[in-house]
Amino acid sequence: MALLFIDSCDLYATREQIARRWEPNGTSISFLNVSATAGRWGGRAIQLVSSNTARIIRHIPPRQTVILGFAARFTRTDNPVNQAFITLYDPTWTQVVIAIDFLEGRYRCYRGWFDTEIAQSAVDFAAVAKEQYHWFELKVTIDDIAGSVELRRNGLVLLTFAGNTKGAPTGDITRVQLRSMYVNSSNRVDVWLDDIVIADDLGGRNDDFPGDLRISTLAPVADTAEKAWSPSSGSDNFSRIAEIPPDDDTSWVASATPGDRDLYAMAPLGMTPLAIKGLQQTALARKDDAGERALSLVLKSGAEVAVGPPTILGSSYAFTEAIHELDPASGAPWTPAAVDAVKAGMEVAP
């Protein structure tokens, strides 16, 4: 495995929907916001509001090395000094903090929660410029001897470090946190986020700096012959679940029969990328009665069908995901033609 999580930020219309994939730990959900047009490419973006310090946290499996890529835009009222921007930690203790000094135009890296400064960038006020998107890439390995940190902006290295990066008793990272910055009501920074990817260094693919990425969200556009679920209304299943962002109980498909499967033709990419890092299937689902219910995501490429592990559903809507770094039909990286031809859907797990 290398890719752990992909977020286009297009699946949210409300702050409550953000909280289905990100934990707003340590802050009120009211400090999160969504814009339908503020993303890098004119789409949606997450806003971390700075009327207090807003944070979103993604839980990941324990990893010694974590790679993060994302787009961020700063809206600031002044020049906060040395405020945490990215935090990597285990469940209790902070491993590494990336902080920004807007007054000096620097990025700084700390081991632990501001315990020891281990690296800082050169002065570069363009790197902290407001009202424009910056593409950040961060690679961190936790070790008390052979640890490392490298932070890049728009492909250029801002800071590096080699040595002790172990700020916590464990050697793992299990949480990735992105933050807005608040000093006081007249000295604060809103952070807008788009195109977020989290990876590790395992598996031999997508195990290093990802480069500047664009994440596209593709919705169902047609039913296929595999159509066993029941729509909330009408006769088309795909149209009941094609909303971006999803509309919860306004329209849906449902089944209680183990083995029932729906597959859908998906919207085309509409572009020709230089490379495709992978696909992430995402479904929003819940159960509507007592008893155990489970869902498996299904992907069909050519004649090959990939069925994901079952996800146990609760009574509230939650996202479930499956990542495919390679095309199951070829075992090779995805091509635009293969993505355009793929069929995606789900089945009721036994």
Q: What does the pLDDT look like over 120-134, one tens digit per residue?
A: 999 999 999 999 999
Q: What is the mean pLDDT of residues 300-306?
A: 97
Residue 279, SS3?
A: strand
Give yes or no for residue 153 having a pLDDT over 70: yes
Cβ contacts of 207-212, under 8 Å, gap ≥ 24? 207/2, 207/67, 208/67, 208/139, 209/67, 209/69, 209/137, 209/139, 209/150, 209/152, 210/67, 210/69, 210/137, 210/277, 211/69, 211/137, 211/155, 212/135, 212/154, 212/155
Q: Hey, how many other C-beta atoms are within 10 angstroms of the C-beta on 12?
A: 26
Residue 339, SS3?
A: helix
pLDDT tens digits for range 231-260: 999 999 999 999 999 999 999 999 999 999
Total domain count, the chain: 2
pLDDT tens digits for range 55-68: 999 999 999 999 99
For residue 304, the surrounding DSSP H or E stretch is strand 304-307
CA pair distance 313, 291, nearest whole angstrom: 10
165 and 72 in one domain?
Answer: yes
191 and 331 in one domain?
Answer: no
**Who's near 121: CB < 8 A, 6+ residues apart?**
106, 107, 108, 127, 151, 158, 159
Give yes or no for residue 27 having a pLDDT over 80: no
239 and 192 in one domain?
Answer: no
CATH number, residue 175: 2.60.120.200
* pLDDT interval class at 78 (50, 70, 90): confident
Q: What is the mean pLDDT of residues 162-186?
A: 94
Q: Which of 24, 13, 8, 17 is closest to 180 using CA atoms?
A: 24
**Who's near 125: CB < 8 A, 6+ residues apart?**
105
Range of the domain at 337: 220-348
Is residue 232 assigned to a domain? yes
Structural Rg of the chain based on CA atoms: 21
Question: How far out from the chain centre does Cα 198 lie?
Answer: 6
Q: Which of 281, 286, 287, 270 is closest to 309 using CA atoms?
A: 281
Phi, psi at 257, each rounded to 5°: -100, 115
166 and 300 in one domain?
Answer: no
What is the per-residue pLDDT for 184?
87
140 and 227 in one domain?
Answer: no
* pLDDT interval class at 1 (50, 70, 90): low
Q: What is the mean pLDDT of the chain?
A: 95
Is residue 208 assigned to a domain? no
Cα-based distances in Å from 229 to 97, 199, 262, 348: 47, 34, 6, 9
Is residue 205 assigned to a domain? no
- Residue matched to tokens 């285990």: 90
Q: What is the mean pLDDT of residues 130-151?
A: 97
